[in-house]
A and B are shown apart, each in its own frame.
Chain A
Amino acid sequence: MTVLSLDAEVYGLTRPTVEDARDAVLRVHRSNGPVIWEQLVRAAGSGSSLDRLLPVMAAADPTTRLCALALQIRLTAYTELAAAQTTVRS
């Protein structure tokens, strides 16, 4: 059975990262982005992973919540497709 690494591409899609979450927050909040990102990271705790950040983002302001929804869709799509690809290869 083939096990995909976390950074493996599936149909050109990569698993979303903390950096992607940061980019999204900075994108939609522009000048307020750095402060909001700092608050999110603090709330998620030290060594924040995407799995810890997404619930914090989903409970934040409505615009940040949308970023979390979008990242969750990408994460679920990636996970489903990676699982299917692994099944096909095994």
Chain B
Amino acid sequence: MHTELFDRLGTPERMREIAGYDLLDPDLRTSLDEVAKRSATLLEAPVSLVSIVLDTSQMIIGGHGVSGWVQQAQGTPAEWAMCTHTVLAGEPYCVIDGRDDPRHAGNPFLEMTGLRSYLGVPLLGEGGQVIGAHCVIDSRRRIFTDVDLALLTDGAEKVMRLLGSYRAAA
């Protein structure tokens, strides 16, 4: 297991902030699927995700274009998730072509899904912790534009407004 990575992701402060949201509410999930679908459409990408990055896994709480084992698991191991990089960076994260990018060489998620390029923006919780990411992933080499980033950032703001309405009861 990837102890150092899991320790960075699983800090008590960050996990407590994530635990403050009712992430399993079906109405929330439906709304987040809509946000993902909108971002995928606007950015003309086959896949869009709203993810919470937990200590050892990426949990997909809203998605468009997700299939196969990722859909069955409703997530991926954290060490395979592109969104882990976005969360740890705390800023937009871009991959033009994962096949040529040494940061992602041999990533089983990319190899198995055939996906290549990624643009993600962080989801910043009310308590100041980066709790996850909103992203699009494409099956082709792609240079994302400032307009793409602006559209995705707008989607992330929608996500956080929705999440704010689903705070877990104390």
Q: Chain A interface (Cβ within 8 Å of chain B)?
A: 11-14, 20, 23-24, 27-30, 61-63, 65-67, 69-71, 73-74, 76-77, 80-81, 84
Contacts and interface: CB of A to CB of B under 8 A. Distances in A.
Contact of B6 (A13, A27, A77): A27
A14 B73 contact: no
A29 B13 CA distance: 10
Given A62-B19, A73-B59, A84-B69, A30 B168 contact: no
Nearest to B17: A63
Interface of B: 1, 3, 6-7, 10-12, 15-16, 18-20, 54-59, 68-70, 72-78, 108, 111-112, 168
A66 B73 contact: no
Given A76-B73, A77-B77, A69 B59 contact: yes
A69 B52 CA distance: 11
Given A76-B73, A80-B73, A63 B56 contact: no
